[in-house]
Amino acid sequence: MPLKTQAWENYWESNASMSSFAFDYSATEGPYKRINKFWVRAFEEFTLSDTIVDLGAGNGALVHLFLQSKGLQYIEKWLNIDSAKAVARIEHSTVTYQQDDMCELSLPDNSVNHFVSMFGLEYGDFSKTVPHLYRCLRLGGQFHFILHHQDSIVSKQSRVTISVIEKVLASNLLNNLTQFVSLEELKTHLLFGLNQTVQSVEEHALDDVKIIGKGIYNIIHSSKDLTNKVDMLLSLKKDMLWQIERLQQQLAGAQQVKSLSAFLHKNAFGEYSLAPLSYENEILCWSLTGTKV
């Protein structure tokens, strides 16, 4: 599953968020305390001489969480790897960023103490990535992964968001914008189109419409230059297309996790645990841990 990176590079460049889903993984209450607990337990395995490699690291959400939890003086090196060019949000002598393909990982053999990944590993091709995990891990080295689940609340929401964006893009809302000769005419068109969209979606999709509406509303009130507004709206349309691409990649990655056990067995990973993490009967994600023996 080759990963197209332009949509992600656009996201990491234009968003200050440490997480692509804007979750607070340091939370000690609510659903994401389960993910926080997973990482706190994983971080306890790290030692002063360890090299940690984060696959699909984005702009460094996981090392940020580690910094909050333990502090970077507790490890030798943390390497963030992503196929996309990401903006470094953590600057520290211990932390480095490397644009690399996890399916063709360029790390030396037996060089990694711990592989980690938070919603990143599943964006690669397991048939190519898993052999690199085994090759690069030192004997006794471990991996700690959080992966998207096809039935998680995140995946369910992603499907809703894709549906809403596709509905908006298929409508006349953001098409033929250069036909308008006045700001008032453009504003009337946009507000009418948004109202039609609100009336056409089910209640569970209203939040996504509101997010799009907020973006359009901010553009409407941003300046008095009609050409500038049209350019901004076209840029918003492109961002929406990129968001669909990112969410489709996420859903495809979640779908392939069910095949992961076969690749782990094939590559001699005999000691591992793959299990869903849930909160109040809702699946959050998969957790995967294991050791090279």
Average pLDDT score over residue span 165-184: 95
pLDDT, position 23: 53
Q: What is the predicted pLDDT for the residue at 154? A: 94
| In contact, 78 and 96? CB cutoff 8 Å | yes
Q: Using alpha carbons, list the distances in angstroms from residue 271 to 45, 124, 138, 268, 280.
A: 16, 22, 15, 9, 29
Within 13 Å of residue 265, how many CA atoms lie on the same side as its CB? Answer: 5
Mean pLDDT of 36-57: 95
Q: For residue 112, is pLDDT > 60?
A: yes
C-beta atoms surrounding 103 within 10 Å: 19
Answer for the pair 245, 20: CB distance below 8 angstroms, yes or no. Answer: no
Distance CA 142, CA 19 (A): 24
Poorest-confidence range of 11-25, 157-171, 184-198, 236-250?
Answer: 11-25
Nearest to 251, CA basis, from 174, 163, 137, 172: 163
Does residue 16 carry a pLDDT above 70?
no
> Closest Cα to residue 136, out of 104, 98, 99, 96?
104
> What 3-state DSSP class applies to 23?
coil
- CB under 8 Å, gap of 24 or more: what pairs does 131-135 form? 131/267, 132/102, 132/103, 132/104, 132/105, 132/107, 133/267, 133/269, 134/267, 134/268, 134/269, 134/292, 135/105, 135/109, 135/110
pLDDT of res. 3:
61
- Residue tagged 């849930």 (tokens): 278
Contact between 224 and 176 (Cβ < 8 Å): no
Q: What's 275's DSSP letter?
A: E
Residue 17's pLDDT band (boundaries 50, 70, 90)?
Answer: low
Give Cβ neighbours of residue 168 (< 8 Å, ≥ 6 apart). Answer: 174, 197, 209, 212, 240
User: What is the pLDDT confidence band of residue 186, given thresholds at 50, 70 and 90?
Assistant: very high
Question: What pLDDT sits at residue 224?
Answer: 87
Bridge partners (DSSP) listed for residue 77: 51
Main-chain dihedrals φ then ψ at residue 69, nearest 5 degrees: -85, -45
Per-residue pLDDT band for 226 (boundaries 50, 70, 90) equals: very high
Q: pTM of the entire structure?
A: 0.91
The mean pLDDT of 87-91, rounded to a whole number, is 81
Q: Where are the beta strands (DSSP E) in the chain?
A: 51-55, 77-82, 95-99, 112-118, 137-147, 271-279, 282-291
Q: CA quadruple 223, 227, 232, 236: dihedral positive or negative?
A: positive
Predicted confidence band of residue 192 (pLDDT cuts 50, 70, 90): very high
Percent of the chain whose predicted confidence (pLDDT) is above 90: 80
Given 3-state DSSP classes, what are the helix, strand and coil percentages for the chain, each rounded to the nearest 5?
Answer: 50, 20, 30
Looking at residues 3-27, what average pLDDT do you find? 70
Residues 208 and 167 sit within 8 Å (Cβ to Cβ) = no
pLDDT for res 2: 47
Mean pLDDT over each residue of the chain, to the nearest integer: 92
Confidence of residue 37 (pLDDT cuts 50, 70, 90): very high
Rounded (10°) CA dihedral 9, 12, 15, 18: 160
DSSP 8-state assignment for residue 62: H
Supply the pLDDT for residue 1: 42
